[in-house]
Amino acid sequence: MFQSSPALFDEVCQHVRQSSLLTSVSAVLEWDERTKMPAAEAEYRADQTTLLSGMIHQRWTDEAFVAKVSELAAGPLAEGADSETAVTIRRLKRLVDKKTKLPRSLVEELARTAVLGQSAWEQARRENNFAHFRPWLAKTFELKRQQAEALGYKQSTYDALLDDYEPEELTANVGRVLTDLREQLVGLVAAIRASSRQPDTSLLSRNYPIDVQESFGKEAAAACGFDFARGRLDVTVHPFCTTLGPHDCRITTRYDEHFFNAAFFGILHESGHGIYEQGLPPDRFGMPLGEAISLGIHESQSRMWENLVGRSRAFWQHFYPTAQKRFPAALGSTSLDAFYFAINDVRPSLIRVEADEATYNLHILIRFEMEQALLNGDLPVADAPAAWNDKYRQYLGIVPRCDADGILQDVHWGAGLVGYFPTYSLGNLYAAQFFATADEELGGLHAQFARGEFLPLRNWLREKIHCHGQRYSAAELVKRVTGRELSSAPLLAHLRAKYGELYGI
């Protein structure tokens, strides 16, 4: 029996920090895999990732380490609601309990499949060939079933996987949230589509040189608070953000010379993730108080900077003159009103990452329902493309032209990220509620944006959300910051006000 003491706590923390060093090495390999790695290297990279994943898992499940964490959790240092020591012990105990339920062989196979699955997905998407990805999709969901059974769950198999991204959340609760949003938005979207006011979106398909898109996107991200001295921007197939160390946050995007929205709003989205990562206490990196509490809270930051800031009129009152100078052929003679309306066009679309605010959650609902069906075995993998198309016809009234624009558009399933998608919708809800509170407390955000003042919001988020790490659960954090439970009301109020004005409804 160990003696629960500050010395033991320090010993456990040192072990965790060393494990985090290995995790950061794995993150470097993953970033390289998705940005720079030659396709032919996938097999060897899978071997590297498998080895590292096994080593990291072994450290987290080492019997002596687990015993020390259990001793701390049963001792006086774990007492107290908000103390750093108590929170750290409780979070580590929860994590250790989950990891010890997973056999090392399964952890290694999941890691290997994620690398090879992503490689297969990239080729399948490029060639519009679902058959090439199908065996990897089947293997991924079989491994995820094994993972869920090993972890255990309260109500449904999906609960075990959702918990990895949104701790303590339940599938049934998320289902109710998404269904409620769908019902609330159906009438709004119908009224928008029936309006005689419609934007000219062709202006977004003019020529936007890629090098200028990159420099303009970086300028906007920096203005919002992303620190390029502690991060960088690169190109990938499917945009993401990853943190390789306490002062090394990488964001990515993809460019289309004839579509402005893809790269620019992708950069704002990923820089929102990056701003959160850079706002976490660097001296707690790898420890619970230096890590994000949930993917839903993480997504609230990216969706806030992408939509509530980046698609606001006030944002463009400041940035549009610069955009006209950077893209004179495309925007030189286009009014701010026309541009603002175009970037806020609402219409059913095929690509989730380019969807408007009003229809976005329907994309998430489709994936959420399909993940559960694939996981439970109710939907055979071979039938997945047809099921995807049917759901797009049912929820959005459109059908993908090809699988590359359909079931192959997202990297998540290739990367083994099953249970991730619902956090996007939770992020939309969190974002609207946080933003409404910040607007009230900071005395009018849009007036600040119009003057080019974005750091007050960044600093507010850092003080209210980022600096706490995992001190509070997502639900506790929302209540602490906004004074009320999570509600769909702020998001719906934002959407109705914004699109009511644009479309005259």
- Of 315, 309, 305, give the one whose Cα is nearest residue 339: 315
Q: Give the sign of the dihedral formed by CA 136, CA 137, CA 142, CA 143.
A: positive
Find out whether 451 and 274 touch, Cβ atoms under 8 Å: no
Phi, psi of 446 (to 5 degrees): -65, -35
Q: Give the sign of the dihedral formed by CA 273, CA 279, CA 281, CA 283.
A: positive
Q: From residue 328, how far is each of 177, 201, 265, 333 by CA, in Å?
A: 44, 17, 20, 8
Of the candidates 270, 277, 291, 306, the residue annotated as catalytic is 270
Find out whether 418 and 140 touch, Cβ atoms under 8 Å: yes
Let me know if 328 is exposed, middle or buried by CB neighbors in 10 A (0-12, 13-18, 19+): exposed
Integer Cα distance of 116 and 110 in angstroms: 10
CB within 8 A of 58, min separation 6: which ones?
A: 104
Structure tokens at 170: 């339940």
Structure tokens at 314: 């006030």
Structure tokens at 37: 């790695």
Q: DSSP string covering 181-219, please? A: HHHHHHHHHHHHHH-S----GGGGGS---HHHHHHHHHH
Phi, psi of 396 (to 5 degrees): -120, -10
What is the number of alpha carbons within 13 Å of residue 469 lying toward its C-beta? Answer: 20
Integer Cα distance of 396 and 128 in angstroms: 22
Phi, psi of 79 (to 5 degrees): -85, 150
Amino acid, res. 393 = R
Rounded to 5°, the CA angle 307-486-310 comes to 10
Query: Is position 270 annotated as part of the catalytic site?
Result: yes
Catalytic residues, by residue number, are 270
